[in-house]
Structure 1
Amino acid sequence: MSAADAFELIREEQIDEVNALARYYRHKKTGAELISLINDDENKVFGIAFATPPEDSTGIAHILEHSVLCGSEQFPVKKPFVEMLKGSLHTFLNAMTFPDKTVYPVASQNLADFRNLTEVYLDAVLFPLLSRETFEQEGWHYELENPDAPLIYKGVVFNEMKGGYSSPDQVQRTYAQNALFPDNTYGLSSGGDPKVMPELTYEQFAAFHKRYYHPSNAQIIFYGDDDPDARLEILEKYLSRFEKAERAPIVPVQPKFDAPRYEVRTYPADEENKRSAFVTLNWLIEETDDHTEALRRSVLAHALLGNSAAPLYKALTESGLGESVIGGLNGHYREPWFNAGLRNADAESADKIETLILDTLASLAEHGIDKATVESTVNTIEFSLREKNTGGYPRGIMYFFAALGDWLYGKDPLEALKYEDALATLKAELAAGKPVLEERIRSLLLDNSHRVTLVLKADKEQAEREEAAERAKLDAVRAGLSEEDVAGVIATTQKLKALQNAPDKPENLAKIPTLELKDLEREIKTVPTEELALSKVRTLYHDLPTNGIVYFDLGFDLKTLPRELIPYLPIFSRALTQTGTSKEDYVALSQRIGRSTGGIGAQRFASSLVDGEGSAAMLIVRGKAMADKTDDLLAIARDILTDAKLDNRDRIRQLVAQDKARHEAGLVPSGHMVAFSRLRASMTEADWLSEQCGGVLQLFFLRELAAKIEDDWESVSEALASIRDHLVNATTAVANVTADAESWTQFRPRLEAFLGDLPTRPAVLADWGSLPAPKNEGLTIPAQVNYVAKGVSLKKLGYEPSGALSVVTKYLGTTYLWDKIRVEGGAYGGFARFDPSAGIYAFGSYRDPNLTATLDVYDGVPDKLREDISDTDLTRSIIGTIGDLDGYQLPDAKGFTALVRTLTGATDAYRQARRDQVLATSKADFKEAADLIAEVARNGHVVALGSESAINKANAERNGFLEVTRVL
């Protein structure tokens, strides 16, 4: 029987919305379902999903997601996932656990690589080894080094979730979901609650895989330009080994509340203050099979909260009851939920916030949502649907997620990929004057008794209590162990460490499919770029297929700004589009942007030059619109650059509060980036700028600025106006356009006229002075885990490393650092970073239970590199590095990347030389890298972000080597 005969074709149809021929299959023997999307997208995607509804909060599905990627029947090595990370050209390679499903997607532009990835993933999920040691490593285990040592918990997921429960925003979302769904699986923590995780046994873990990771419970997608018949052949090889089994039951609907509920919970904080609470109203929304209805709900959520000018968002912001808005429509559930509220609020104001939200909704239901807001919202959503700009995610993966939103619950997955009929119906309803959104405000929100008001309060003693409770629990376990039991735990600890340190057998490693060096492209990929002068402004044009969309960037040189104005840049950037102009307030401006464009805003760019000590630093206004709407796009750009109301004190006050709250909320989820930013700030001009505008220094500045707005508003307003006067100057401007040729022909004369109207004055560069002295720092936050960075500027030490150092870095991240920091140390991640432009080499860890032990690992890197590297590891590390260089990009990203390369001096010749160096990397380069990276141990400095107790403990161990600063 052919592979095609093993599948029943349920339906075949062309789906224009995803530009693909869709074939919907069912595997005859097992019942596994498949969507095969056939089109010309070279970024091929495979994904397999299983319904995995947990019955408790032990994190069983999450631990299993990690564990199946730790060795399988066909590939019996410790980390086939990492081997593919090391030696693949993948454009996506990951797995994710949702509240009721687990998804394993991969993508690659290279056909051989794509098929390798597909087979490794299929074998991993269907035939994993799942040893007890893997469960202990990835989930949790008791660790005891010797009879006198304290008993501790270790485990990758255990520490990942400790980090998750250290993030107030994640805690708020978890508690809200739990409260809305007390009677089904959504009321549990699918990621795992660290307090509950040690209740999970290996036997339960293995049984969960047997029950749910079966083809009968699988939903599969293929997408792209690969052979559709070969897809079936690959699947049949694996699926044919199974008999039919029961599908997982669909998550039942949550019984509805008779009346709204009110809950008060707490989260750990180092300090309590009156403005440290989260107050949200949360509604459960009934499921719908009607895709037009689903679109109505999405439009409603965006109309209420989609931007700062949306009426509910605006009411919450202007109330002054909190610092930033929380809310939106939450999908990925059988029954979605909607929430709205405030971060950094006074818990005593919870009733006022609840009343404000309900009264605002009641007023909107009675009087209607402003037509301009509705029109802007619909255009914004329609533009997004048609643009299909999935950013860093391959489009096929986003389509998989969209299909699963119906598919998992027994509905037709292909209908979820369509939007034209629903969009036409909704637009017709609105054009006819039907109160579509107002009716849903009443039915879904105001008249919906299934509502929870959640007040999440800071508790400065909670972390200490939880730490004490965990210690007491472990001490009780330890006290109950006999001498024989203690010896057994020590033996188990030693056995696990021995297995973690033991190399895989070469013959097993050889089973991991890989490309060969001859399969790699020797030449760099280039972006078509034409450079010209329009109205004397340097202009770059990139002729790429954009489906009639014009992507426009306009940059101004930040080096014209005096040093003291630099910290104001983030607020200035937001103020351009969020303060209004002399002709319209910020609501009208926001509506105009949404109505006429696909979005416009400003962002900062800073990078070291590739051939020197200097930097490229620009403020770039970025916008996009259909070619026939570019007059509107340019008119908006002109207004915000020359006429933004930078003296709008109320809006600036609100923007500062929002930015401060967002920085504080991001400290735990992005702790590694916070540490890296602080680490690099003393190394290059560009990194100093980035820390001033986006790191800890920016947070400190925002706190000071909030007070200054009240006490010395005139100086704040003058600073913002001064930035505009310095920056908006045609003399220092660079324009960048990405569009197809027809759209460019329409846009070019309009752009030339626009650029000719820009203010023009001589360019005067400011003196930013010297960089701060490097130092070792301990930044304290209320967290149960740490983020540890250590690095050095090789360029300042006189080195000019070749591209081979990138290969070494790839190797370290997938071998030594992965093994020592993640596998043995229990951190969620450990990595090395080499920035060839800046010449900076640094190490970092993520959600790490350790601190000084991690620094010891970093310092051990040179010895590791002096060991012999296998031919296989060398080849795979080269391939993986080339994969990083050749990452897949959509047209707008290609055009922006070309701009960045131009600004930094990364010419095609430079890029080709580095590629040649990567491809020519030898074992000798690894030995040379050992001496180079030894400079990190000798001269590197450290930035650690973590709890006060962890920082103090590290200082006690190393004679106070960290200068301590409280961040939160």
Structure 2
Amino acid sequence: MKKGDRYKGFCVREVVDVEDCDSTGVYLVHEKTGMEVFHLLNSDEENLFAFAFRTPPGDSSGVAHVLEHSVLCGSQKFPLKDPFIRLVNQSVNTYLNAYTASDHTVFPASSTVKADYFNLMAVYADAVFFPLLRPEIFMQECHRLDFDDNGKVSLQGVVYNEMKGNYSSYESVAGDAIETSVLGGTVYEYDSGGDPLEIPGLTLAKLRAFHKKYYCPANCMVFLYGNISTEEQIDFIEREVILRVASSGKKAVYKTRKNAFIKPRLHAYGPSDEKEKKSTVSCAWRIEDTGLSRSQVAMEILFLGDLLWGNDSAVVSKSMISSGLGEDLAPQTGEHISIEYPVVNFGLRGVDSKNVLKVKKTLYATLLDVCRNGVKREEMDRVRMSFEFSNREIKRFDGPYSLVLLRRCLRGWLYGEKPWETLLFMREYSALVQRMDSDPSYLSKMIHRYFLDNKRCSLVTVTPSAKWSRDRAKKERETAERQLSEMGEKKARSLLKKMHDFQDKPLSAEENDLLPRLSINDLSSTVEKIRTSEDEIEGLTLFSNTEPTNGILYFSMAVPADCLPASDYPYLPSICEWFSQVGWGSLSWDKAVSIVEGTTGGFGAYTRSATVPDFAAKSDCRKDYVGRDWVMFYFKVLEERAQDAFNLFSDCILQTDFSDTVRLRELVVAQYNSISSLVVPHANWYAAYRASCSLNHAGTVNEVWEGLSSYYTARKMNGMDINEVSSVLCSIFKRLFKGGAVLHLTGTKKGISSAKKILPGFIRKIGMKNLKKKRANPESAFRALTEIPSEFCEEGVKGPIDENIVVPGTVGYACRLIPSSPFDTRDCIADLVFAHSVSHNELWKSVRTVGGAYGVYLSTNSDSKVCRFLTYRDPRPFDSLDVLRETAEALVQKDFSEAEVEKAITGCYSDEVFPRTPASKGATAFLWELYGLNNAQKARRLKWLLSIKPGDMHKAALRFEKAVKNPGKGFKTVVVCTKEMILSKSKENTGKIIKFSV
């Protein structure tokens, strides 16, 4: 296509070379309806589409969020109750989701199979333009009156419970308060996701009106990415949308009142379970009326953010942390550039009330000092390296990289810019560098423009408050009681029964086959092989993977943790996070961080423990590196800077001693605050770690490193004398490297060849020796590390629930482990398909659709021979555990059809053939070597997957039912919930109650 061409009513407005995306951008507008389409056309077989709509909220009822959920619950061509989850169950998608942002809603999906891609687009197009929006779905997804076994009324609903979970997180509430302080008079003063206190005011009539107004062609932007031709996609859009819509509608306008209000000072509150708590204090700036393009503004404030507070060594971060006004940097610090009026926040966490005004005064003084004196050269080098890496490195972020491009594209397209303008990263970056190089005062001008001279600024204090939490809970109860009084119990129960009858009505055979799907014959049985080379350098094993990494070299050094005593294990995550942030030799910590980030794409470390599958344990037991606990050190660097990177890395290993106790105290406090803020919003994973901690060695170790036990380690370190912390970490760090190592490289042929020449000198310099055997630590020593301190526990009577973790908030989370079949067996693949099917059918219906939980998952981890049941933001976690048991009993009687099994196989298929980036291929290959996996095993899994039959599913159901009844030793059940949820009957059945304090 070329500019000016017309095709199926669409006019090609522009065809541009989008060099940063290695794509040709084709921009089309439908002349009659106004629908806009932008296609990044390239050679990528992983195609992605997205329907995006401007959806500015007029209140905090969550109408846009509820609509996002509801349109995916039945449409004209697919009048099912749950087409979305059925797609998840039976598609080979590599991404399938929807999300509501502060002023727009997006429905993206991707697939590597063309037929599957258009199947997904067919269902999504019908959903967004022709939804049924039934009353029962509104009650299910938005809000309804419900009754417990004792007849007590409460408000329920999937979105309602999701947002109750959001309002249970202090950091989330604080972030909303900070941003809205400078966004008064705009659509952003409202919560588009919905405030649980306002969601009950939303009606079905308002929901339908919102859809009619905003989900129309004139207000729709279609983003396309990949190698399917533009013409073929336009053919589809014309057939499935343009020719069927009754009206074009109107393009939405983001209205802003004149003299939009900025609150110079704001004191807000957030959830807490304690009476007294220090506050988060933040300065927020609203960016507008600069006279510059959105792309230029975005680039400049991103650059400033990275330079001024991008890490602890950045000039503003360092100054503010060392001021002693707060404990650490507030997690809300950053730049929000994906809204019409970008907002920049900088704040401190853990601030005393007497220091609130001092925070702003010190911040402005620091910014003024930068304007006068500039920044050090290594800081500028750090930022420039960061920006170059972000442009060159190929990444996936919870989905294909095209998702990142979609969000960048919408950043300007939503607000009137050409869709490709915000994709030209290097053009804007190069222009900024040129402005700064030609005008030495340009940095100062930017700081004045966006911060010092910007009157659209607010100083926000957010304080944790138990009263805030209690008041909201009281208002929620009062709302439910008021609605019941107005409606009457008889009508409320009648409506509830009508919804349940709708949910329980079985689908006909015709309805079951409504959604388009691939057949098993459409799926390739070929697995992409990962080719790994093995060498020996200076007595150490070196694995390498040659991949098209765009000139980036990835180096890993696996050092065995299991040569250390078990008592050292709790401190290893802290060493991983801090070893490169405390300085070494003559380098102060801030200079060391700047030099590392100005030379490399960063280096760091992480811990790793996993179970070796039975077959690998037998065949690879002779290899001394298989099945160990590791500390994985790594760095990434441009190939031409490899020697510099190895030099820095070796100096860091040899000279780091954790002796800067002032810096160390900052890190200890920041770690404790960070982990404290993670437990509630990610409680499902903390429940999973606790449930796994008695299962096997890897389960125990991962609970110590990443589970709730790590919170108590952080709490303990926060109370230790800092000199003791320094001594402990230094001792462990020095002893750690005496265990030897295994090395790995990923890069181009040229990059690996160059690195192999550097490695001998590096190995000799750090004195690394051959890999040593693991230390004979008794398992009881590791298990002891998972015991929660007694002052936080209340012992109960041993029963079906092993542990109950009490947290602040209004929703719960449940996790139960169940035995499953061993890895690399046909039965384990049958269990995989069975769990996938049950998760997206029976459990989805019972726990999410009927029960109101935001999420429910049943998944297998066959190397540990375990199946994991998880619920997320669940109003009835104890009931969900009963549902699991009842479901297991019922499935024994179920006759699985051929079609049902094929759908589940198709849904599992994408996980087996998931596209990997060059870097992730290398990382995967290294882990395969360390834990005894290989290409042959991967091929067997796929072969077995494509051959699963109904009989295999029935046998899996029998195994599952037996395992649920009699799980055996080590398979725990853990519930995370509020103290209000713990009824007397659950207390009697709970072995241990753990009281978590935020």
Q: What is residue 675 of structure 1 aligned with on the other side?
A: 687
The 8 Å contact of residues 45 and 105 in structure 1, kept in 2 or not, is answered as: yes
Structure 2 counterpart SS, 1:249? coil
Which of 951, 954, 957 is equivalent to 1:924?
A: 951
- The reply on whether 1:338 has 2:344 as its aligned counterpart is yes
Cα distance in 2, alignment partners of residues 591 and 358 from structure 1: 23
Q: What is residue 904 of structure 2 aligned with on the other side?
A: 877
Note the C-alpha offset of 1:77: 1.2
Which of 248, 253, 257 is equivalent to 1:250?
A: 253
Q: More deviation in 841-850 or 927-936?
A: 927-936
Q: What is residue 200 of structure 2 aligned with on the other side?
A: 198
- After superposition, the C-alpha distances for 1:847-880 in whole angstroms (9 at most, x for unaligned) are 0101220110121232232212232221111111
Which of 659, 663, 668 is equivalent to 1:656?
A: 668
Q: What is residue 167 of structure 1 aligned with on the other side?
A: 169
Which of 722, 726, 732 is equivalent to 1:723?
A: 732
Distance change >3 Å, CA 764–CA 527, structure 1 → 2: closer
Letter aligned with residue 139 of structure 1: C
Cα distance in 2, alignment partners of residues 95 and 954 from structure 1: 39
- The reply on whether 1:316 has 2:320 as its aligned counterpart is yes
- After superposition, the C-alpha distances for 1:215-270 in whole angstroms (9 at most, x for unaligned) are 11001111111222211111111123236645343324565578861111111211
1:685-834 equivalences in 2 (<5 Å): 685-710=697-722, 713-714=723-724, 716-729=725-738, 732-761=740-769, 763-771=772-780, 772=783, 776-794=802-820, 801-834=827-860
Cα distance in 1, alignment partners of residues 62 and 830 from structure 2: 40
Structure 2 counterpart SS, 1:247? coil
Distance change >3 Å, CA 468–CA 216, structure 1 → 2: same
Q: What is residue 951 of structure 1 aligned with on the other side?
A: 982
- The reply on whether 1:964 has 2:994 as its aligned counterpart is yes
- After superposition, the C-alpha distances for 1:310-354 in whole angstroms (9 at most, x for unaligned) are 111112322333333120111221010011112233334222222
Structure 1 counterpart SS, 2:181? helix
Cα distance in 1, alignment partners of residues 327 and 109 from structure 2: 39
The 8 Å contact of residues 287 and 341 in structure 2, kept in 1 or not, is answered as: yes
Cα distance in 2, alignment partners of residues 433 and 521 from structure 1: 58
- After superposition, the C-alpha distances for 1:774-816 in whole angstroms (9 at most, x for unaligned) are 9711111111111111114557999995211111111121111
Cα distance in 1, alignment partners of residues 416 and 856 from structure 2: 40
1:489-500 equivalences in 2 (<5 Å): 489-500=492-503
Task: Compute the RMSD of aligned alpha carbons.
Answer: 2.3
- The reply on whether 1:392 has 2:398 as its aligned counterpart is yes
Cα distance in 1, alignment partners of residues 983 and 363 from structure 2: 43
The 8 Å contact of residues 307 and 315 in structure 2, kept in 1 or not, is answered as: yes
- The reply on whether 1:282 has 2:284 as its aligned counterpart is yes
Structure 2 counterpart SS, 1:887? coil
Letter aligned with residue 728 of structure 1: F
Cα distance in 2, alignment partners of residues 897 and 463 from structure 1: 44
- The reply on whether 1:31 has 2:34 as its aligned counterpart is yes
Cα distance in 2, alignment partners of residues 142 and 955 from structure 1: 24
Distance change >3 Å, CA 347–CA 42, structure 1 → 2: farther
Q: What is residue 402 of structure 1 aligned with on the other side?
A: 408
Q: Structure 1 stretches of 5 or more lacking a match? A: none
Q: What is residue 941 of structure 1 aligned with on the other side?
A: 972
- The reply on whether 1:584 has 2:596 as its aligned counterpart is no
Which of 301, 324, 328 is equivalent to 1:297?
A: 301
Q: What is residue 69 of structure 2 aligned with on the other side?
A: 66
Cα distance in 1, alignment partners of residues 863 and 119 from structure 2: 33
Q: What is residue 137 of structure 1 aligned with on the other side?
A: 140
Q: What is residue 434 of structure 2 aligned with on the other side?
A: 428
Letter aligned with residue 604 of structure 2: G
Which of 414, 428, 445 is equivalent to 2:420?
A: 414
Relative to the length of structure 2, the TM-score reads 0.92
Q: What is residue 378 of structure 1 aligned with on the other side?
A: 384
Note the C-alpha offset of 1:961: 4.7
Letter aligned with residue 350 of structure 2: N
- After superposition, the C-alpha distances for 1:413-443 in whole angstroms (9 at most, x for unaligned) are 1121112332222222333352222212112
Note the C-alpha offset of 1:960: 4.3
- The reply on whether 1:563 has 2:566 as its aligned counterpart is yes
Letter aligned with residue 734 of structure 1: V
Structure 1 counterpart SS, 2:490? helix
Cα distance in 2, alignment partners of residues 29 and 700 from structure 1: 62
The 8 Å contact of residues 812 and 831 in structure 1, kept in 2 or not, is answered as: no
Note the C-alpha offset of 1:181: 1.2
Cα distance in 2, alignment partners of residues 718 and 582 from structure 1: 17
The 8 Å contact of residues 30 and 242 in structure 1, kept in 2 or not, is answered as: no
Structure 1 counterpart SS, 2:636? strand
Note the C-alpha offset of 1:749: 0.9
The 8 Å contact of residues 794 and 800 in structure 1, kept in 2 or not, is answered as: no
Which of 924, 928, 933 is equivalent to 1:906?
A: 933
Q: What is residue 620 of structure 1 aligned with on the other side?
A: 632
Structure 1 counterpart SS, 2:579? helix
Note the C-alpha offset of 1:704: 1.0
1:80-229 equivalences in 2 (<5 Å): 80-144=83-147, 149-229=151-231
Q: Structure 2 stretches of 5 or more lacking a match? A: 618-625, 787-800
Cα distance in 2, alignment partners of residues 910 and 504 from structure 1: 38
Letter aligned with residue 298 of structure 2: A
Note the C-alpha offset of 1:742: 2.4
Note the C-alpha offset of 1:487: 2.0
Cα distance in 2, alignment partners of residues 405 and 476 from structure 1: 42
Q: More deviation in 774-783 or 485-494?
A: 774-783
Letter aligned with residue 964 of structure 2: V
Note the C-alpha offset of 1:144: 4.1
Q: Percent identity?
A: 27
Structure 2 counterpart SS, 1:578? coil
Letter aligned with residue 919 of structure 1: L
Q: More deviation in 209-218 or 259-268?
A: 259-268
The 8 Å contact of residues 253 and 334 in structure 1, kept in 2 or not, is answered as: no
Distance change >3 Å, CA 619–CA 961, structure 1 → 2: closer
Cα distance in 2, alignment partners of residues 647 and 570 from structure 1: 18
Cα distance in 2, alignment partners of residues 604 and 255 from structure 1: 53
The 8 Å contact of residues 391 and 426 in structure 2, kept in 1 or not, is answered as: no
Q: More deviation in 389-398 or 590-599?
A: 389-398
Q: What is residue 17 of structure 1 aligned with on the other side?
A: 20
The 8 Å contact of residues 649 and 709 in structure 1, kept in 2 or not, is answered as: no
The 8 Å contact of residues 53 and 251 in structure 1, kept in 2 or not, is answered as: yes
Cα distance in 1, alignment partners of residues 483 and 252 from structure 2: 37
Cα distance in 2, alignment partners of residues 294 and 465 from structure 1: 39
- After superposition, the C-alpha distances for 1:659-701 in whole angstroms (9 at most, x for unaligned) are 1111111112211111101111111211211111221111111
Q: What is residue 510 of structure 1 aligned with on the other side?
A: 513
Note the C-alpha offset of 1:952: 4.6
The 8 Å contact of residues 683 and 793 in structure 1, kept in 2 or not, is answered as: no
The 8 Å contact of residues 18 and 424 in structure 2, kept in 1 or not, is answered as: yes
Note the C-alpha offset of 1:20: 0.6
Note the C-alpha offset of 1:954: 5.6
Cα distance in 2, alignment partners of residues 372 and 590 from structure 1: 9
Letter aligned with residue 631 of structure 2: L
Cα distance in 2, alignment partners of residues 367 and 152 from structure 1: 60
Note the C-alpha offset of 1:114: 1.2
Q: More deviation in 111-120 or 904-913?
A: 904-913
Note the C-alpha offset of 1:558: 1.3
Q: More deviation in 312-321 or 224-233?
A: 312-321
Distance change >3 Å, CA 678–CA 344, structure 1 → 2: farther
Cα distance in 2, alignment partners of residues 950 and 53 from structure 1: 36
Note the C-alpha offset of 1:187: 0.2
